[in-house]
Structure formats: C-alpha cells, structure tokens
Amino acid sequence: MMPLISSTSMLQAARQQQYAVGAFNVHTLEMLQAVVEAAEETRSPLIIQSTVGTVKHLGPDYIAAAARVAADRTGLPIALHLDHCTDFDLIVKCIRAGYTSVMIDASMHPYEENAARTSKVMEVAEAAGVNVEAELGKVGGVEDDIIVDERDALLADPNECKAFIERTGVHTLAPAIGTAHGIYKGEPNIDFDRIAKIAELVEAPLVLHGGSGIPAEQVKRAVSLGMAKMNVATELRIAFSDAIKDVFAAHPDENDPRKYMVPAKAAVKRLAIEKMQLCGCVGKA
Ligand code: 13P
C-alpha cells in the first residue's frame, strides 16, 4: 500500500535537480483522476491540490480518500495539498483528514503576523509530518474569495524570505514575484532577477503561483532559477468546462455525466501532461 507522501522531499529533490512538480487544483473526481492519469502516463511526481472552496464543496475526507486511492493504485509519489488557507482550524481538519501538505496564507498580514501564524501551523504540521507552504508578498488576482488588486500586489523581498524561513522553519515558500492568479490580460510581468536573488539566499523549494497562462519559456526560466512547484488552477477549470460546453452545444439533450465528463476529463489530462512537460518533472517519479 503506497500512502500519500509529504511534498517536502519531493520538492527538495525538484529544487536540487532544477525541475518543478506540477500542483493541480481539482474540483471533481474526474479532474482528480485526470491529473493522476497524466502523472501515471508520464511517470511524474504529483501534487493534487484543493482550495478552501473545494474543501467546503466536496469535504476534506472525500478528497483525501480519493487521493489515497490514487497513490495506492499508481504507486507514484503523490502529495495532497491544501491551497491558500487562512483558517488554522481548517488546516488542522485537513491534516486530520489525510492532507500531507498545507499552505497557510497569511500574506495579507504584516510580516510579524504572517510569521507568527506560519509558526503556529508549523507546530501542528511538523508533529504530523506534513509539509507547510507560506507566502511572502502578495500574488495578484483572485483565488476563491481572496482578492488582491493587481496594482497593489507587493513583491517579496529576498532578505525577508531568508529571515522568514529561518524564523519559521517553513518547508516551502511562495514568494510573490509578479505572477497573478487567473488568466493574464497581457503577458505576466515576472521579476526573474528577484527569483534568482531569493534562490541565492534560500535553499527551500520555491513555489510558483498563478501557473495558468504563463508563456512556456517563462515557466522554464522560472523553474531553472529555483521554482520547484508550479500551481495550476484556472486553465484546468477552463479546459474542463469548455469541453462540457462543447458537448452540450453539439448535443443539447445529453444528460449522462458518464458521457459529457469523458471529454472534460481528457482535456484536463492533456493539459496536465503539457504542464508536467514544461515543469520538467516527466520521468522523475
Ligand atoms: P492559476 O489559477 O493562475 O493557475 O493559479 C493557481 C494558483 O496559484 C493556485 O494557488
């Protein structure tokens, strides 16, 4: 029986070997199965993610059960991650349900408060062998109900990143470096020099948020500089929904989810494989 694993060692290996692990936000069983099949076909390590909204929608126990089945069936290194959580009690609930990685997002608070909240999560997570991700600076855009005005998005300070990790011991860090959640209106304005400076000062795996819509060359460059995990949400949701819309456009009377979910699942799988190839994690499982 292969259990879900903490993402810490998976991401440390990625950082050392300069690739990134794809972390995919899923909202339905079919989406979860699609990213698992993508990992299986490409022999990639995998992080299955759910936002707080999805945890509330499906229940952490259902999600964890499905992820456990995936790990057991495939024998692949798979972690289950809670994305952008501001609520300590929900983090504890997800860890109890079987999540092996959690993000405490206290980036909307001043530095001191962010560090204190992260340290509190570290205490419970370390005892459970669970990976913790924190955020410094602010990633722009919309993620469930967290909204950051793109103009206000503050980028992470490299020295603060170093001090934050030393103080909290957090395993993985998402520094704001110019990406945004959702689909970009133009091209993202990624501060590659900042990524390089942070990576120089910090050994921990870095997390690239806002993976949807970043041009391929820019993903590769960010990964080569130290981004060891790439989060992808919006593009997967769009691929899934567009495929279903196409089915209903062609067959308005279709009423069998076992039919209209098939192309939706295939679209998510295709996209996940593309992202895994960009991340360079293919064959690393
Ligand atoms: P996108 O929705 O832009 O892919 O961002 C995903 C993300 O960073 C989730 O934390």
CA nearest neighbour of 221 among 201, 182, 191: 191
Is 228 contained in some domain? yes
Number of compact structural domains in the chain: 1
Say if 146 falls within a structural domain. yes
**Number of helical (H) and strand (E) elements in the chain, helices listed first:** 11, 10
Report if residue 1 sits inside a domain. no
The reported pTM is 0.95
Average pLDDT, stretch 45-69? 98
> Which of 81, 97, 84 is closest to 35 using CA atoms?
81
**Catalytic-residue membership of 145:** no
The size of the chain, in residues, is 285
CATH of the domain at 224: 3.20.20.70
249 has a pLDDT exceeding 60: yes
Residue written as token pair 């759910």: 50
Nearest ligand 1 atom to alpha carbon 237: 2
**Residues 103, 130 contacting (CB under 8 angstroms):** no
How confident is the model over 60-88, as a mean pLDDT? 98
> Does a structural domain hold residue 28?
yes
284 occurs within a structural domain: no
**Does some domain include residue 285?**
no
Q: What range does the domain containing 99 cover?
A: 7-279
| Residue 148 maps to a domain | yes
Distance, CA 61 to ligand 1 centroid (Å)? 23
Looking at the chain, list the stretches that DSSP marks H as alpha helix, in order from N- to C-terminal side. 7-16, 29-42, 52-58, 60-74, 88-97, 111-128, 158-168, 192-201, 216-225, 234-250, 257-279
Flag whether pLDDT at 56 surpasses 70.
yes
Pocket test for ligand 1, best of 212, 275, 278 (most atoms within 8 A of CB): 212
218 domain-assigned? yes
> From the CB of residue 150, how many other CB atoms can be counted at a distance below 10 Å?
17
**Of 21, 24, 25, 236, which is best to mutate to test ligand 1, by the most ligand atoms within 8 angstroms of its C-beta?**
25
Q: pLDDT tens digits for 193-239?
A: 999 999 999 999 999 999 999 999 999 999 999 999 999 999 999 99
Annotated binding site for dihydroxyacetone phosphate: which residue ranges?
182, 210-212, 231-234
